[in-house]
Each structure stands twice: as C-alpha cells, then as structure tokens.
C-alpha cells in the first residue's frame, strides 16, 4: 500500500457555455501634425499645432510662432511661395530702377520723389503703369508743353497762387500752375460760402501726399470737379480791372491769359487714355476727366465722391445746358445716405475725421438751401459744425458756428441757411393754407433775423470788417429779409413805423451797394455766384415798384451786375429771361437804362433747362393791392421751376 494519502479532486461542474471574446485593446495612434511651431521644432518635441499658441508653449508661457501661415500647408510649400514673391518683387524693383535710369530727368526726379514719400515702392511702379499719371508735365511732344509762352505763364500762375500743389496724380488736364490757381480760387470764393462742405486742411493734406491708395478726403474725381467749376466761372478782364493784392487777385487773370494764348495759337492737346480724348478747352477737358473718374468710383460710397457729384451739379447749372446735373445731385444725396455719417461719428475716435464729416454734412445742407426751395435733405442732427484746434483728443466739445456751447437745450445752430429754411417753410405753409396769414408770426421772424445779425461778432459784420466773406453774409441776410417781406402788402406798416415797401427797397439798396463795392475793389472775375444770387432777388423784389425812380435805378444797377455774369456763367441768360418774364407778367416795363442788360439774352431753347433751377412762386413776387394783372394769371400756375416759367412765357409771347 502506498503510504502517501490520495489527493481528493473536486468534481467538475457542467459547462455554462462558451466564454465571450474580449476586445483587443489597440494603443491610440498619435495625431500627426503637418507643421509645428518654431519652439517645438527646435526642441524636437511634440506640438499640438494649435493656433495662435500650442499647448506646450501655453504651459511653458513662451512665445509661439509658426513659419507657415496655415495649418494645411507644409514648410516646403511655404518657402516656395515666399521665394516666388521675393523673385517677383525683385523683377518689379529692377523695372522701376530701369525707368529711373532711362527716363528724362524731370520724370526720373518725379519717380524718386514718389519713392521717398510712399511706404511701398512697388505701388509707385503700379501708378506709373496706369497711363503714366505721375508725369509732372504733359508729354514733351505736345505743342502746348513745348511752347515757351505756355510754360512761362504756367510758372507765373504757380508763383502767384497761394496754394502750391502738384497736378499729378490727380489730373491729366493741366499742369501745376493752373491746377494750383484753380483750387485756390475755389476755396477763396465758391468753396467758402456756396459749397462749404470740403475741409481745406484735410483735403490739402491728402492732395499733397499724392497717394491714391490711401486717400480718404481727396480723389481725382473731386480735384477735376473743383477745377471744372473754377474754370467755368472765369470772366473777362476789363481795362479798369486792376489787381489789388498778390494772391487770389490776379490768379484768374493769369489763367485767362493762358487760355487766350492757347486759343490764339490754335493749339490743342489730346490726352489719350483708353477711349478718352479731350481737347485743351479746359472746361470740357476737366469735365471729361471728372466723368471718366466717376465711372470708376460711383459704386463705392465715399465722402470725396459725394462732394464731387454736388460740385458737378453746380457746373451743370452754370453751363445751363446739361440735364445730367439732376443725376449728379441725386446720386450725391443717395451716396450720402449710404455713408451713414451719424454712425461713423459714434464709432470713430479720430477728432480730425469727426470735424471733416460734421462740416461735410452741415455744409451740404447749407449748399442745398441756396436753391431757393426747401432742402431735399433733412436738417442734420450732428451738433458739431467745426472744432477748435485746442480740443481734447478724447472729448470733443459741441460748439455752434459762433463758438458757443451746443447743448440739448440749444434751439438750433444760429446761421443764415437754417433761418432761410424756416422762412421758406413758413412761406410754403402760408401759401398752401386756406386760412388768413398770421402777420404777427411773419413780424416775429423779421425781428429774429435782425437780432441774429446784430449778435454776430464784429469780424463777421461787413460794416466793420469788409471782406468777400462778410459781404456775402450780409447779402444773404438781406435776401432772407426779402423772402419775409415780399408776400406782404406793400403799404402795410410792418416794423419801426416803416412800410413793407420801404423795407424791401432798403434791403435791395444794401445788396446793390455791397455788390458794387466788391466789384470796385476786386478783379472783375474774382467773385462768387452769391453776388449774382443777391442781385437776382433784388430785381424780382423791385418789379412791382418799377414805376418809381429809385426802384428803376436799383433795378438797372442790379441788372447790370447780372449782365456781367453772362460772360462767366452761360446759364445767367436764362435768369435774365426769367426776370423779363416776370416784368411782362406784372404789366410793367423794363426801365430804359436797363434795356441794354437784357438785349440778346433770350435763350434759344429752354427744353434743356435743368428742372432743379428753382424760382420764386408768383405769389411771392406780386403782393400788390388791386386787380391781379392779366398776364400774371397766365403764368401764376408755374410753381417754382425756372424751366417751366420760361417755356410758358415763350408760348404766350409767340
């Protein structure tokens, strides 16, 4: 027997079924990154590839930089692309160097100057390729540029111009002397009161820089529009016209001499750019150049384009032959709405930009008020008209045109166009209302107008500081007084024991004397249409009293001033014919001494008269007791349209 004990085994239990298969665990694969940051690449560590900072750099708090621009691009592709860019830039710089080496000295100097003033030398090359707009003078083969008299006169115009500007790259039409003189003339006359929506400081800053890529407040379209409106107002010097001072006075005469010389030589200069070919007729040339640039910028809203469109509307009115002026005006206001100036003022922190946009919005409103109708745009809600140089960079003070604080309690900025708007609205409401007029309200308007002018600082009153600007302001106040007084019966005691007739004659006399004083002390071509505007309303206001000697004298003097404007502004002949129509309609006769001013000025065709030309309604002019003249009833249905008035009058007088 075996001495060792037997091992007792436990019985096996029945099987419960097959065991489930366990999943095979596979180690996770590491995410592959195409690129790594420079810090991880140098240390040869794993990089998460996150941008702008990977997880490792974030943990270590170190700078994280990538050599490639995007996560789906490897280093080799990036280096190849950068190599191609550098090679292309090298070829462009070589081309620019060859141009400087091969071109004439004057052009090479212009290239060199542009390179020094531009932050991007390649951009200069792009500008050179675009129709050679950087050339400081017309092509040497041009008969105009090669004529020594033309060069001499242009140099003299540049010397006498208060502003020294470069014509390129803004315009191809004229050289530096002519362009500098025309821009100076604009800001001294029309740009100072009639079109006061361009900030001179910012405009000149952008124009001097000459960088078309970054300009905001200047553009080729705006510069050509300014030159066009300035040259369209050039007059003809008389033997008695003598320059009174160096500067603006005499600058237009220099331009006129240049134009006359070009005409006498029977020369023409053609500028060919694509399908563009313009003659050396400056008005047509600047107009064509402005239209060409407008085609490039009309789809992109900008303040400079808005300003240029409104100036081109003025040009069309001056010439009196282009209904496209209506399109310019409405395109300008449509683009002005798309600028959302109020929103810009809320978001911008640049005080200079705020000044430019505020002045533009208020200036456009003032400009619109001069058409004789209610403005087509609403009164701006922006309180800042301009800013003083000493304002704080963070907080811009709200001030009005008289430098008084503008608060929520302020009634409205006290200046003439806003008051004219109120008077025009009052006259319109009275005319359309069937209730008797409230004479007391009209008298209160007149007293407010007198108080407003009395409150002006001494330097804004022409009797103490006679300047073109203060003279225009005085004429504007007298015009508004005429608007208040014209609809009132002539023999009614209105203010200060004076009848309406006496007050109307008094204001007419002020306008005529101020205009005559200006023309005696300035060159015959140095004026703004605002002087013609005042004389026009003098003639209309005096028509009911042409039987009186004093009114005949004032009417004759005002008509003589308007007659001289026909030489400068062709559309003035339409205005002269409109005055004749009113005289005829009211049963009066043009004074014998004034007949010469109206001879030969009847327009041949009035169908092309811009419908935007406003005209006072007949009820504003008549205001005489007794039976209404029969002729007046024939044209009384004409409501504020110069073209409609002339068409009706021509039909009645055939």
Whether 336 shows a pLDDT value over 80: the answer reads yes
Whether residue 371 lies inside any domain: the answer is no
CB contact at 8 A, 179 and 170: yes
| 133 CB burial (10 A radius; 0-12, 13-18, 19+) | middle
For tokens 């009066």, the residue is 588
CB atoms within 10 A of CB 413: 20
* Co-location of 497 and 583 in the same domain: yes
| pLDDT tens digits along 556-608 | 999 988 887 776 677 777 788 888 888 877 778 889 998 888 876 555 554 55
Dihedral angle sign, alpha carbons of residues 503, 508, 513, 514: positive
Identify which has the larger pLDDT, 474 or 317: 474
Question: What SS3 class is residue 464?
Answer: coil
* Co-location of 92 and 152 in the same domain: no
Q: How would you classify the pairing of strands 498-499 and 493-495?
A: antiparallel
Q: Which residues contact 486 (CB under 8 A, 6 or more apart)?
A: 504, 540, 541, 616, 620, 621, 623
User: Rounded to an integer, what distance in angstroms lies between the CA atom of residue 556 and that of residue 568?
Assistant: 20
Phi then psi dihedrals of residue 407, to 5 deg: -120, 180
Whether residue 110 lies inside any domain: the answer is yes
Quick one: which of 519, 415, 425 has its CA closest to 477?
A: 415
Question: Quick one: how many helices (H) and strands (E) in the chain?
Answer: 28, 2
Quick one: which of 236, 270, 232 has its CA closest to 256?
A: 236
Whether residue 347 lies inside any domain: the answer is no
Quick one: which of 420, 455, 353 has its CA closest to 614?
A: 420
Quick one: which of 411, 383, 409, 408 has its CA closest to 397?
A: 383
Quick one: which of 376, 378, 343, 384 has its CA closest to 360?
A: 384
Phi then psi dihedrals of residue 60, to 5 deg: -80, -5
Dihedral angle sign, alpha carbons of residues 491, 496, 502, 507: negative
Quick one: which of 372, 366, 217 has its CA closest to 303?
A: 217
Whether residue 407 lies inside any domain: the answer is no
DSSP 588: -
Strand partners, 614: 641
Range in 77-81, 84-88, 180-184, 372-376 with the lowest mean pLDDT: 372-376
Q: The tokens of 491 are what?
A: 């023999």
Whether residue 632 lies inside any domain: the answer is yes
Model pLDDT, residue 413? 39
Identify which has the larger pLDDT, 615 or 579: 579
* Co-location of 268 and 178 in the same domain: yes
DSSP 18: P
CA 236 to chain CA mean position, Å: 27
What integer best gives the mean pLDDT of the chain? Answer: 71
User: Rounded to an integer, what distance in angstroms lies between the CA atom of residue 142 and that of residue 417?
Assistant: 47
Domains in the chain: how many in total? 3
Show the domain range for 174: 143-339
Whether 139 shows a pLDDT value over 70: the answer reads no
List % helix, strand, coil for the chain (3-state, nearest 5).
Answer: 55, 0, 45
| pLDDT tens digits along 8-36 | 777 777 766 666 666 666 556 655 666 78
* Co-location of 163 and 111 in the same domain: no
Which of 97, 129, 161 is where one domain is finished?
129
Q: Which residues contact 272 (CB under 8 A, 6 or more apart)?
A: none
Report the b/e string of 46-62 with b at 16+ CB within 10 A.
Answer: ebbbeeebbebbeeeee
Strand partners, 493: 499
Q: Which residues contact 245 (CB under 8 A, 6 or more apart)?
A: none
Question: Could you tell me the CA-to-CA distances from 436 to 24, 430, 441, 619 in Å, in that order?
Answer: 103, 8, 12, 14
User: Rounded to an integer, what distance in angstroms lies between the CA atom of residue 531 and that of residue 511?
Assistant: 8
Identify which has the larger pLDDT, 122 or 258: 122
Question: Could you tell me the CA-to-CA distances from 586 to 74, 213, 428, 500, 525 in Å, in that order?
Answer: 88, 58, 22, 19, 34
Q: The tokens of 311 are what?
A: 């100036």
Is the preceding omega at residue 52 within 30 degrees of 0, hence cis?
yes
User: Rounded to an integer, what distance in angstroms lies between the CA atom of residue 540 and that of residue 578?
Assistant: 10
Long-range contacts of 499-507 (CB under 8 A, 24+ apart): 500/623, 501/545, 504/541, 504/542, 504/545, 505/542, 505/545, 505/550, 505/551, 505/554, 507/478, 507/481, 507/482, 507/541
Angle at 32 between CA 27 and CA 38, to 5 degrees: 130
Share of the chain above pLDDT 70, in %: 61
Report the b/e string of 532-555 with b at 16+ CB within 10 A.
Answer: bbbbbbbbbbbbbbbeeeebbbbb
For tokens 């794993």, the residue is 46
Whether residue 256 lies inside any domain: the answer is yes
* Co-location of 83 and 171 in the same domain: no
Quick one: which of 591, 491, 597 has its CA closest to 546?
A: 591
* Co-location of 462 and 582 in the same domain: yes
Model pLDDT, residue 308? 92
* Co-location of 125 and 168 in the same domain: no
Which of 279, 313, 339 is where one domain is finished?
339
Whether residue 627 lies inside any domain: the answer is yes
Using CA atoms in the order 182, 188, 192, 198, what is the torsion angle rounded to 10 degrees? 40
* Co-location of 89 and 154 in the same domain: no
Whether 143 shows a pLDDT value over 60: the answer reads no
Query: Ramachandran region of residue 372, left (φ > 0), alpha (ψ -120 to 50) or beta?
Result: left
Model pLDDT, residue 370? 67
* Co-location of 568 and 444 in the same domain: yes
Model pLDDT, residue 222? 94
Model pLDDT, residue 510? 93
Whether 618 shows a pLDDT value over 80: the answer reads no
Whether 479 shows a pLDDT value over 90: the answer reads no
DSSP 5: P
* Co-location of 467 and 557 in the same domain: yes
CB contact at 8 A, 486 and 509: no
What band does 625 get if pLDDT is binned at 50, 70 and 90?
Answer: very low
Whether residue 33 lies inside any domain: the answer is no
Is the preceding omega at residue 125 within 30 degrees of 0, hence cis?
no
Beta strands in 186-300 (DSSP E): none
* Co-location of 70 and 155 in the same domain: no
CB contact at 8 A, 341 and 307: no
Model pLDDT, residue 653? 52
Query: Ramachandran region of residue 60, left (φ > 0), alpha (ψ -120 to 50) or beta?
Result: alpha
* Co-location of 124 and 156 in the same domain: no
Model pLDDT, residue 638? 53
User: Rounded to an integer, what distance in angstroms lies between the CA atom of residue 175 and that of residue 155?
Assistant: 9
CB contact at 8 A, 285 and 184: no
Which of 339, 368, 386 is where one domain is finished?
339
Query: Ramachandran region of residue 96, left (φ > 0), alpha (ψ -120 to 50) or beta?
Result: alpha
What band does 256 get if pLDDT is binned at 50, 70 and 90?
Answer: low
Model pLDDT, residue 92? 80
């Amino acid at each position: 027997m075996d001495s060792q004990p037997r091992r007792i085994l436990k019985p096996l239990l029945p099987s419960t079924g097959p065991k489930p298969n366990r999943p095979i665990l596979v180690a996770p694969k590491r995410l592959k990154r195409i690129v790594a940051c420079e810090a991880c690449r140098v240390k040869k560590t794993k990089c998460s590839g996150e941008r702008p900072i990977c997880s490792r750099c974030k943990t270590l708090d170190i700078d994280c930089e990538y050599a490639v621009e995007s996560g789906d691009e490897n280093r080799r592709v990036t280096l190849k692309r950068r190599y191609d860019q550098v090679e292309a830039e090298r070829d462009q710089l070589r081309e620019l160097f060859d141009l400087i080496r091969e071109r004439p000295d004057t052009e090479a100097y212009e290239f060199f100057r542009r390179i020094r003033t531009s932050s991007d030398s390649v951009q200069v090359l792009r500008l050179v390729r675009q129709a050679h707009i950087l050339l400081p003078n017309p092509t040497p083969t041009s008969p105009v540029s090669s004529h020594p008299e033309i060069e001499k006169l242009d140099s003299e115009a540049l010397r006498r111009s208060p502003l020294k500007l470069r014509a390129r790259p803004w315009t191809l039409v004229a050289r530096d002397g002519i362009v500098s003189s025309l821009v100076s003339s604009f800001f001294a006359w029309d740009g100072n009161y009639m079109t006061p929506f361009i900030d001179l400081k910012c405009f000149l800053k952008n124009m001097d820089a000459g960088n078309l890529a970054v300009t905001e407040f200047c553009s080729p379209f705006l510069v050509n529009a300014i030159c066009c409106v300035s040259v369209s107002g050039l007059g003809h010097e008389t033997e008695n016209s003598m320059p009174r001072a160096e500067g603006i006075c005499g600058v237009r005469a220099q331009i006129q001499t240049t134009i006359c010389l070009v005409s006498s030589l029977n020369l023409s200069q053609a500028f060919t750019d694509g399908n563009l070919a313009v003659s050396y007729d400056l008005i047509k040339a600047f107009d064509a150049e402005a239209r060409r640039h407008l085609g490039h910028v009309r789809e992109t809203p900008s303040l400079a384009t808005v300003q240029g469109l409104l100036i081109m509307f003025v040009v069309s009115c001056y010439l009196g032959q282009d209904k496209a002026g209506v399109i310019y005006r409405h395109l300008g206001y449509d683009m002005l709405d798309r600028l959302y100036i109020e929103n810009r003022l809320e978001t911008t922190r640049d005080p200079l930009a705020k000044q430019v946009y505020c002045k533009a919005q208020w200036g456009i409103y003032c400009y619109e008020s001069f058409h004789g109708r209610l403005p087509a745009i609403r009164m701006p809600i922006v309180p800042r008209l301009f800013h003083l140089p000493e304002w704080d960079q963070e907080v811009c003070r709200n001030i009005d045109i008289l430098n008084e604080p503008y608060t929520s309690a302020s009634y409205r900025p006290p200046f003439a166009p806003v008051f004219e708007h109120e008077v025009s609205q009052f006259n319109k409401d009275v005319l359309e209302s069937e209730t008797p007029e409230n004479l007391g309200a009209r008298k209160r308007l007149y007293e407010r107008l007198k108080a407003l002018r009395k409150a002006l600082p001494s330097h804004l009153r022409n009797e103490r500081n006679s300047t073109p600007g203060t003279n225009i302001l005085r004429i504007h106040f007298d015009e508004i007084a005429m608007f208040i007084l014209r609809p009132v019966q002539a023999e009614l005691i209105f203010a200060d024991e004076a009848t309406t007739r006496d007050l109307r004659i008094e204001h007419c006399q002020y306008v005529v004397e101020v205009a005559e004083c200006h023309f005696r002390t300035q060159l015959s071509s140095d004026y703004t249409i605002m002087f013609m505007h005042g004389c026009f309303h003098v003639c209309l206001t005096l028509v009911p009293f042409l039987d009186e000697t004093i009114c005949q004298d004032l009417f004759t003097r005002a008509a003589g001033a308007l007659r001289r404007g026909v030489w400068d502004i062709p559309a003035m002949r339409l205005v002269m014919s409109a005055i004749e129509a009113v005289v005829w309609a009211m049963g009066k006769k043009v004074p014998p001494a004034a007949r010469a001013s109206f001879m030969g000025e009847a327009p041949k065709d009035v169908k092309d008269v811009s419908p935007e030309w406003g005209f006072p309604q007949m009820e504003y002019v008549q205001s005489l007791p007794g039976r209404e003249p029969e002729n007046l009833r024939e044209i009384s249905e004409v409501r504020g349209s110069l073209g409609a008035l002339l068409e009706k009058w021509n039909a009645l007088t055939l």
